[in-house]
């Protein structure tokens, strides 16, 4: 009897610990996501990246923390000065993209982020990286779109790439604009429900649609 009580006790304790840690996880994620929403400067994103990095170390079975850590590092790279400084942060973001891919293989959201990351690495030195990285970015984004045709971010980044290339070569932007429009609709259709899933990136699609209508 004593034994049984003990076992039950332990089970209860474990569950409550788990519930407690799940609650702590959600709380930490919630706090970090709120801060990410407000982040503007390099330092803000550094703060946020550190938080997600801590969470990902603790909750290593979840892909969300590594996804957002990578996104925060990408944002740091966008705000850093100089190629080698920019690369330092995109390299760091790659670590977390790989980690996220390991936890959640075949996740369109992570593959789309990989495509976006290639775009940012490319933008650090477009003259010498364009040739090598633009096919890589297109490949990743194409993969993300085929995995989930309704992913707004994958469609939006792809529209961005297509639009840039069409403009550069003076060819028709119709396809790119149609995709941007579709991406925007997909953004609008995203559920309002708060969840940990990514919902960012709508403004870029809006800008592109705006550009297309001009």
Partner 1 sequence: MLKHFTILLLFFTTFTYGQTTLSGVVKDGSGLTIPGANVYLKDSFDGDVSSPEGTFNFTTELNGQQTLIVSFVGFKPYEKAILLNADALRIEVILQEEINKVDGVTITAGAYTSSDVKKNTVLKPLDIVTTASAAGDIIGAINTLPGTATVGESGRLFVRGGEGYETKVFIDGLEVRNAFNATVPNVPTRGRFSPFLFKGTSFSTGGYSAEYGQALSSALVLNSNDFPTETQTDISIMSVGGDIAHTKAWDKTSFSAKVQATDLRPYQNIIQQNFDWEEAPNSVGTEFVVRHKVNKDGLFKLYVNSDQSKMSLRQTNLDSGLQDTIGIDNDYLYINANYRDILNKKWSLKGGVSITNDRSDFRLNQDVFDQRELSMHSKLTAQWDASEKVSLNMGTEWFNRAFDQSVRFGNTRTINRSFDDHLMSNFVEADYFASNKFVFRAGVRSEYTSLTQQHFLNPRLAMSYKLKNEGQFSLAYGQFVQAPQNEFSVVQPNLTPEKAEHFILNYQMIKNKRVFRVETYYKAYDDLVKFQTLNDFNPDNYNNLGFGEAKGLDIFWRDNATFKNTDYWVSYSYVDAERDYQNFNQVARPPFLSEHNFSVVVKHFVESLRTQFGATYNYASSRLYHNPNLDGFQNSQTPSFQDVSVNAAILLKQNIILYLSSSNVFGRDNIFGYEYATTPNDQGVFTEREIGQAAKRFVFFGLFITLTKDKQVNQLDNL
Q: How many CA atoms lie within 13 A of 99 on its CB side?
A: 24
Considering the rule CB under 8 A, would residue 169 count as an interface residue with partner 1?
A: yes
* Per-residue mark of binding to partner 1, 47-86 (x: CB under 8 A): x--xx-xxx-xx-----------------------xxx--
Q: Which is nearer to partner 1, 170 or 192 (CB)?
A: 170
Do 32 and 68 meet the contact criterion of CB atoms below 8 Å apart? Answer: yes
Do 77 and 124 meet the contact criterion of CB atoms below 8 Å apart? Answer: yes
Contacts of 159 by beta carbon, 8 Å cutoff, 6+ apart: 176, 177, 179, 180, 182, 183, 205, 208
Considering the rule CB under 8 A, would residue 35 count as an interface residue with partner 1?
A: no
Considering the rule CB under 8 A, would residue 131 count as an interface residue with partner 1?
A: yes
Among 142, 147, 150, 185, binds partner 1 (CB under 8 A): 142
Q: Which is nearer to partner 1, 168 or 192 (CB)?
A: 168
Residue 84 CB, shortest distance to partner 1, in Å, is 6
What is the end-to-end Cα distance of the chain in Å, rounded? 78
Residue 127 CB, shortest distance to partner 1, in Å, is 7
Do 73 and 49 meet the contact criterion of CB atoms below 8 Å apart? Answer: yes
Torsional sign, CA 125, 129, 135, 139? negative
Among 135, 146, 197, 210, binds partner 1 (CB under 8 A): 135
Considering the rule CB under 8 A, would residue 26 count as an interface residue with partner 1?
A: no
Pick the stretch among 112-120, 164-172, 187-195, 197-205 that binds partner 1 (CB under 8 A): 164-172
Q: 201 φ, ψ to 5°?
A: 105, 5
Residue 14 CB, shortest distance to partner 1, in Å, is 10
Considering the rule CB under 8 A, would residue 136 count as an interface residue with partner 1?
A: yes
Instruction: Say how far apart CA 30 and CA 15 lie, in whole Å.
Output: 22
Among 11, 19, 132, 174, binds partner 1 (CB under 8 A): 132
Among 62, 94, 107, 134, binds partner 1 (CB under 8 A): 134
Residue 93 CB, shortest distance to partner 1, in Å, is 11
Question: What is the full DSSP assignment across 84-145?
Answer: HHHHHHHHHHHHHHHHHHHHSTT-HHHHHHHHHHHHHHHHHSHHHHHHHHHHHHHHHHHHHH
Considering the rule CB under 8 A, would residue 127 count as an interface residue with partner 1?
A: yes
């Amino acid at each position: 009897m004593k034994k049984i009580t003990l076992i039950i006790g332990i089970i209860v304790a474990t569950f409550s610990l788990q519930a407690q840690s799940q609650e702590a996880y959600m709380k930490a994620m919630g706090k970090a996501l709120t801060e990410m929403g407000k982040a503007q400067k390099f330092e803000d994103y550094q703060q946020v990246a550190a938080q997600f990095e801590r969470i990902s170390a603790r909750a290593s079975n979840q892909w969300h923390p590594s996804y957002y850590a990578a996104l925060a590092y990408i944002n740091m790279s966008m705000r850093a000065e100089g190629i080698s400084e920019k690369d330092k942060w995109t390299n760091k973001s790659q670590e977390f993209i790989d980690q996220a891919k390991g936890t959640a293989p075949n996740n369109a959201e992570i593959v789309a982020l990989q495509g976006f990351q290639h775009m940012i690495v490319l933008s650090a030195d477009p003259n010498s990286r364009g040739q090598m990285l633009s096919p890589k970015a297109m490949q990743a984004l194409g993969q993300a779109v085929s995995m989930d045709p309704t992913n707004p971010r994958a469609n939006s980044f792809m529209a961005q790439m297509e639009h840039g290339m069409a403009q550069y070569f003076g060819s028709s932007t119709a396809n790119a604009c149609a995709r941007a429009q579709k991406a925007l609709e997909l953004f609008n259709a995203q559920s309002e429900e708060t969840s940990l899933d990514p919902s960012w990136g709508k403004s870029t699609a809006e800008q592109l649609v705006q550009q297309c209508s001009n």
